[in-house]
């Protein structure tokens, strides 16, 4: 058994899944975060859809997303149990929808790229829509199906990770980290109250806050990208995840079997501001209504806004800032739930000197 002492800075979905995987491999882990189990994934919809955001020039990222999806089923079984499926993993498939003719042209481009990356996207005739997904608007102009896609409930994933870590003896330190510095043969984290935590390695999974801790200035430049999300509730309207383009804007709808319907999401460059804005909420509702009938009857249970950690490109980074001492895993932008299991395996492999095969698909600090 390996008894390396590892401190994880940031207990969002990337930090908690990395802590979990390291604990499973025998490491002694501590997680530093004033509010672990929240972060962007608390707001996220939980789509596991590698192809839907494919852009030309980002083929490497899509290959990484695909590898991310390939690791999810085993992770869900391990974390949530084979029968009770506590994380809500479902192979529900995605319907990619175009609302008008120019949305259809845009969607066709995306489909070409997805197919070139071996993602199986099948065109459906519009007349089939009412059989495949009866609540879809009869006015849509394009319909494509991706059967491999899945979804999870990110809040349940976070809860399962917290429970497993607590049961396994991981330590939680409810504080912000202020600085990081090499110390003797290891590395030290200074907390808000001046206390220092010494460990052999630290893993920085600070999402949008990556550049806010002293000592990490040479790390990748990460910026927050705000997203509003609505949580509606009522009798389930959908079985598939819907990703639509409606008059040039994107909207998605993620149904949970218990009746929650997640509608998202705006993409806003607003720094660290998470104010909830009426206009953005109205736009999301209008866009959702243009794709699916029956939205207006549902209860509006929750509006929230989260911060996606974004880099210049779509490929997140898992790399050493200081070899064997300070590892950084960040920049998961819109795909951190999809990539949490794979990132945690990549992080664990690097910390323990036992590289995980598809870890090479992640970006490096000096790319």
In angstroms, give the least distance from the CB of 210 to ligand FAD: 8
Residue 80 is a binding residue for ligand FAD (CB under 6 A): no
The pattern of x and - marking residues 246 through 285 that bind ligand FAD according to CB under 6 A reads ------------------xx--------------------
Is residue 35 a contact point for ligand FAD (CB under 6 A)?
A: yes
94 sits near ligand FAD (criterion: CB under 6 A): no
Task: Choose between 47 and 98: whose C-beta lies nearer to ligand FAD.
Answer: 47
342 forms part of the interface with ligand FAD (CB under 6 A): no
Contacts 24+ apart (CB under 8 A), 345-348: 345/21, 345/71, 346/318, 347/18, 347/21, 347/22, 347/203, 347/205, 347/318, 348/18, 348/21, 348/22, 348/25
Residue 108 or 272 having the CB closest to ligand FAD: 272
Structure tokens at 52: 């839907």
SS3 287: helix
Q: Where are the alpha helices (DSSP H) in 258-335?
A: 278-291
Residues contacting ligand FAD: total by CB under 6 A: 44
Given 33, 103, 153, 287, the residue binding ligand FAD (CB under 6 A): 33
Minimum distance from residue 126 beta carbon to ligand FAD (Å): 26
Does residue 145 sit in helix, strand or coil? strand
Task: Tally DSSP H helices, then E strands, for the chain.
Answer: 7, 19
Closest CA to 210 of 318, 355, 325, 314: 318
Contact status, residue 121 vs residue 111, Cβ threshold 8 Å? yes
For ligand FAD, the closer of residues 290 and 344 by Cβ is 344
d(Cα 201, Cα 361) in Å, to the nearest integer?
23
Q: What angle do CA 28, 335, 107 make, to 5 degrees?
A: 165
- Span of 30-38, 97-105, 156-164, 276-284 interacting with ligand FAD by CB under 6 A: 30-38
Q: Does 10 bind ligand FAD (CB under 6 A)?
A: yes
366's CB contacts (< 8 A; 6+ apart) are: none
Q: Looking at 80, 207, 215, 220, which residue binds ligand FAD (CB under 6 A)?
A: 207
- In angstroms and rounded to an integer, the radius of gyration of the C-alpha atoms of the chain is 21
SS3 content of the chain, % helix, strand, coil (to 5): 35, 30, 40
In angstroms, rounded to a whole number, what is the distance separating the alpha carbons of residues 6 and 182?
A: 14
85 or 175: CB nearest ligand FAD: 175
Q: Does 45 bind ligand FAD (CB under 6 A)?
A: yes
Q: Pick from 365, 352, 19: which is nearest to 216 by CA?
A: 365
The yes or no reply on residue 336 touching ligand FAD (CB under 6 A) is yes
Stretch that binds ligand FAD, among 11-19, 106-114, 131-139, 279-287 (CB under 6 A): 11-19
Name residues contacting ligand FAD, limited to 162-181 (CB under 6 A): 176-177
CB atoms within 10 A of CB 268: 16
Q: Is 61 in the site for ligand FAD (CB under 6 A)?
A: no
Residue placing its CB nearer to ligand FAD in the complex, 38 or 115:
38
Q: Which of 80, 306, 341, 363 binds ligand FAD (CB under 6 A)?
A: 306
Sole binder of ligand FAD in the list 8, 9, 253, 298 (CB under 6 A): 9
Interacting residues toward ligand FAD by CB under 6 A: 9-15, 32-35, 38-41, 43-47, 176-177, 205-209, 212-213, 227, 229, 264-265, 306, 308-309, 330, 332-338
């Amino acid at each position: 058994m390996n008894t390396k002492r590892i401190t994880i800075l940031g207990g969002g979905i990337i930090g908690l899944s990395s802590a979990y995987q390291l604990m499973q491999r025998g490491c002694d882990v501590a997680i530093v975060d004033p509010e672990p189990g929240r972060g962007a994934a608390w707001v996220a919809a939980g789509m596991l859809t590698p192809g839907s955001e494919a852009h030309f020039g980002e083929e490497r990222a899509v290959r990484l997303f695909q590898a991310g999806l390939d690791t999810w089923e085993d992770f869900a079984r391990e974390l949530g149990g084979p029968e009770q499926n506590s994380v809500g993993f479902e192979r529900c498939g995605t319907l990619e929808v175009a609302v008008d003719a120019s949305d259809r042209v845009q969607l066709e481009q995306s489909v070409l790229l997805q197919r070139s990356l071996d993602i199986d996207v099948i065109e459906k005739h519009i007349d089939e829509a009412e059989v495949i997904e009866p609540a879809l608007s009869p006015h849509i102009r394009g319909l494509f199906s991706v059967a491999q896609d899945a979804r999870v409930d990110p809040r349940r994933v976070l809860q399962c990770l917290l429970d497993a870590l607590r049961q396994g003896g991981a330590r939680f330190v409810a504080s912000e980290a202020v600085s990081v510095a090499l110390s003797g043969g290891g590395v030290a984290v200074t907390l808000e109250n001046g206390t220092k935590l010494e460990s052999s390695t630290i893993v920085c999974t600070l999402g949008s806050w990556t550049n806010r801790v002293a000592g990490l200035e040479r790390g990748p430049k990460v910026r927050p990208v705000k997203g509003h999300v609505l949580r509606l509730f009522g009798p389930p309207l959908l079985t598939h995840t819907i990703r639509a383009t409606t008059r040039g804007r994107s909207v998605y709808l993620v149904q949970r079997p218990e009746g929650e319907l997640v509608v998202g999401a705006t993409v806003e460059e607003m720094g660290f501001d998470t104010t909830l804005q009426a206009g953005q909420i109205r736009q999301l509702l209008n866009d959702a209504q243009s794709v699916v009938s029956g939205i207006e009857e549902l209860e509006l249970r929750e509006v929230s806004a989260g911060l996606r950690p974004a880099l210049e490109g779509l490929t997140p980074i898992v790399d050493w800032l200081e070899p064997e001492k300070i590892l950084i895993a960040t920049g998961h932008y819109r795909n951190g739930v999809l990539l949490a299991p794979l990132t945690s395996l990549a992080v664990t492999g690097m910390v323990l000197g036992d590289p995980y095969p598809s870890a090479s698909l992640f970006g490096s600090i000096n790319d």
